[in-house]
Structure 1
């Protein structure tokens, strides 16, 4: 086998976002595009003598990209690559394999919750030896390398057979093809009371798990149906497909409408859940009641001690800044630390590694704990099942008791997708320019208490992240947050986060959009969304 050194030139725009580099699949398939970015990864982190994990969510181009990455790893001197069978690994499973095998990191091929297919989205990101996404300093170094790269290294070789578990070799590099589910499922058995959950299913408890034709299908079938005894057919859309069956694999009420319709129907099962493209997000639904991600985080934190893996209590709870403050109220009641970080799971890594937090969550349907360094959709579902099996209540009853104890943070996110980037930037620039004069203004009957552009100083390493989202906070505890998302591949996505607190005992059972109406109106007016973007209504409401 020959190692070839291929001349190349920088390709503009290879700047990783909050979760790696994401572009349209034809872009990644373009001449030198994937190779330039992968070589930049290896140039920054080093490959000689190292061991990596490799896998992806099975979307279109996943199989071809895996072969390229393996040949480049060998050419750059890697000693070993652990790859999921069929080049498949959920993102949390990849994080676990990195930690379990004490590797030097891993490359994950995914665009998470974004659609897949020949004309849709693809992505590549690097995870560090702790199993978590590369921090900003590392991704910035990778980006700088893409702007100066002159060559990449690749082995000339036939494709490896990744369909069978076992060991093979590539130009002196060991390639271990592993069952993508087994080690992850074994980890889940150490965290949760599988016996109690099995007994609940045996008693007639019914569930629907929608994997949205994405990567968690095999994990859900193995764990829920085979190990926990859920009825065959509990897991739907459980075969991962390159185009996710034409679905948008984002587990929210808009894209998981079939699940929502079933859970609000006359013959609804007791519990419903969905997961996304790469398995790191989750949506939870009870019979006739939707659980917002912010409420889910708070309920899981308040009840985690019911699961064996968390019986000793939590060290702390962390949430992204746009996530509601519901989890903060739980942490205060438990007497543990609570942390507010920028959006992006990598910001939780230091808190988890330092033992300051045990459970973390984002309003964008991501929840996880210190068992890995990624959010973990199926983990959240299993913790909910463990709680239900112990409390022997419905989801609605658990939520009602939670709000009665802690109050209710009414919360919603409105997404305005594919806005022209220059219009979105102009709107955010104008709003930032107005922040200093907002305090004391009365808008929609609410007095503005403070307004800022969120900045975060990491309590562990002292690093500072600025311009993480514009916040406008009112004296009654309401607030809205505006930020541009880094997870899309076309134009800009404006995310508007809305929150209003009801302390109870009255006003705990309102429709969230009605409860939030004054905050919604204030956000539209102050940000001048229609004026800058031409949009008067969001594309997605969660």
Structure 2
């Protein structure tokens, strides 16, 4: 065992999903080691503990896993359960932590961000409940990075992570497990696999784009091997270190190949995509795109049709920027509905306390209390089970849903890689004017309320302030603005636009057309295009 002297490195502050930086930064001297040791120190050490380790297969993941294993051994960990090849999807890692009653886990991923020698890498610590570390823990990790003076690392050959089984690294046991099977087995306990096999047997067609990311092996095992979908149903199924040059973010902009296939008149009945680490999803029908907010609402309204949720939901939760579509379902069904800041860790307390079964966020993340992470393939299987139970396609299900609950037209506009000072100044100016906005008329819309969202956790009483700006217009329309915590370059400004149509008329407009007044009012209020010089957003979802 070596104790290696080091000095603090600036910028090691975890965001909403761990620490993310460019891969060459993580590969720099002491960078990964400093952050890992700070994490171990912040959680009270790992002596005698069991950890789970794995990631999405992106560039530098295998090398990082070897570093972490040697550091865990030097810090006295008893056992590390690692996915074969250092692979584990984020929801599969959460499941393993819970199933094996581990003390926590490290996930090597930058989620939906591109991967490769010059792209993004990330490390995230998950707690014993399987969920992301809460703010108190990430703050402690950051504080430790500012004062670290040494780290411990075993000097030893690399562990063979290609063979399933146990070996030793010093006194620590390294247990290499199949990364897919435990997760796939869990899915069989939640869904009616017999009905889903019947769906494919009857000629139901589907395309699942795994975007050369980690869900490929999971999707092939579940959809093709266990459910009998035709070979080739899963495309881009081989995880690659650079995701085949793709941007592994399942939205209409980056999953354009799938979008083109699904929007054709002869497209498959159902389409889906997942992201780099398997926790996000995009849902499509033939010539139908389902927004993430609407998907969450549909799942809430139909969860009772799925075996794992047949007794009903305990409650639902959504992130603040997510549309209020699920709120309307919750009100109609008599369910509690919680509004939290962005970040899956805020759902963990609610699920652990038994307050919610289903939760989601607008950035293509939905999940339930089966794990403590959002779960892309789980969402796909929920949709398939609902389709099988209702005997309807996506378009029919959406039309029925809007007729019953009304429609929350919704879109997110992303302005990426803005100069940080510019983005901060724009939102700072808005903060200074918030109190004066109510009552003002902008582009024909009257502002009802305006605030900066602050959340008090109903379980532990913790407060999370400055979680985004909300401007609510009369009639239920609104705009939300916040800076993303998942980028690695500059600032990403996310603008969330929403307009409610109660029906029966006005339920089939193009979303951007329906939202045009809100878009114009936002520009008048904030001046994003005028101040940035951009012609428009980089990504529209």
Scaled by the length of structure 2, the TM-score of the pair is: 0.99
Deviation digits for residues 246-290 of structure 1 (CA, Å, limit 9, x no counterpart): 000000000000000000113200000000000000000000000
Matched with 1:22 is: 20
Gaps of 5+ in 2: none
Contact 1:426 1:532 in 2 (8 A): no
Select 1:35's aligned residue among 19, 25, 33: 33
Deviation digits for residues 329-350 of structure 1 (CA, Å, limit 9, x no counterpart): 1111110100000000000000
Contact 2:209 2:237 in 1 (8 A): yes
Q: Structure 2 matches for 1:332-371, cutoff 5 A? A: 332-371=331-370
Deviation digits for residues 206-233 of structure 1 (CA, Å, limit 9, x no counterpart): 0000000000000000000000000000
Q: Structure 2 matches for 1:119-518, cutoff 5 A? A: 119-518=118-517
Secondary structure of 1:496's counterpart equals strand
Matched with 1:87 is: 86
Matched with 1:7 is: 5
Does 2:51 match 1:52?
yes
Secondary structure of 2:128's counterpart equals coil
Contact 1:168 1:175 in 2 (8 A): yes
- Equivalent-residue separation in structure 2 for 1:209 and 1:494 (angstroms): 30
Structure 1's consecutive aligned runs of 4 or more residues displaced over 2 angstroms after TM superposition are none
Matched with 1:525 is: 524
Contact 1:446 1:476 in 2 (8 A): no
- Equivalent-residue separation in structure 2 for 1:444 and 1:220 (angstroms): 47
- Shift of residue 524, structure 1, vs aligned partner: 1.1
Aligned CA-pair RMSD: 0.5
- Equivalent-residue separation in structure 1 for 2:532 and 2:468 (angstroms): 18
Contact 2:265 2:287 in 1 (8 A): no
Query: Would you say how many aligned residue pairs link Structure 1 and Structure 2?
Result: 540
- Shift of residue 530, structure 1, vs aligned partner: 2.5
Secondary structure of 1:489's counterpart equals coil
Does 2:94 match 1:72?
no
Deviation digits for residues 441-493 of structure 1 (CA, Å, limit 9, x no counterpart): 01121110000000000011110001100010011100000000010000000
- Equivalent-residue separation in structure 1 for 2:422 and 2:229 (angstroms): 49
Gaps of 5+ in 1: none
Deviation digits for residues 414-458 of structure 1 (CA, Å, limit 9, x no counterpart): 000000101000001001111010000011211100000000000
Secondary structure of 1:156's counterpart equals coil
Contact 2:113 2:247 in 1 (8 A): yes
- Equivalent-residue separation in structure 2 for 1:482 and 1:386 (angstroms): 35
- Equivalent-residue separation in structure 1 for 2:325 and 2:426 (angstroms): 29
Contact 2:265 2:286 in 1 (8 A): no
Deviation digits for residues 90-124 of structure 1 (CA, Å, limit 9, x no counterpart): 00000000000010000000000000000000000
- Shift of residue 44, structure 1, vs aligned partner: 1.1
- Shift of residue 531, structure 1, vs aligned partner: 3.4
- Equivalent-residue separation in structure 2 for 1:69 and 1:334 (angstroms): 47
Contact 1:57 1:89 in 2 (8 A): yes
Secondary structure of 2:41's counterpart equals helix
- Equivalent-residue separation in structure 1 for 2:464 and 2:484 (angstroms): 15
- Equivalent-residue separation in structure 1 for 2:191 and 2:224 (angstroms): 16
Scaled by the length of structure 1, the TM-score of the pair is: 0.99
Contact 1:17 1:486 in 2 (8 A): yes
Contact 1:424 1:532 in 2 (8 A): no
Deviation digits for residues 143-187 of structure 1 (CA, Å, limit 9, x no counterpart): 000000000000000011000100001010001000000000000
Deviation digits for residues 318-339 of structure 1 (CA, Å, limit 9, x no counterpart): 0000000000011111101000
Secondary structure of 2:479's counterpart equals strand
- Equivalent-residue separation in structure 2 for 1:210 and 1:329 (angstroms): 31
- Equivalent-residue separation in structure 2 for 1:331 and 1:101 (angstroms): 34
- Equivalent-residue separation in structure 2 for 1:522 and 1:12 (angstroms): 39
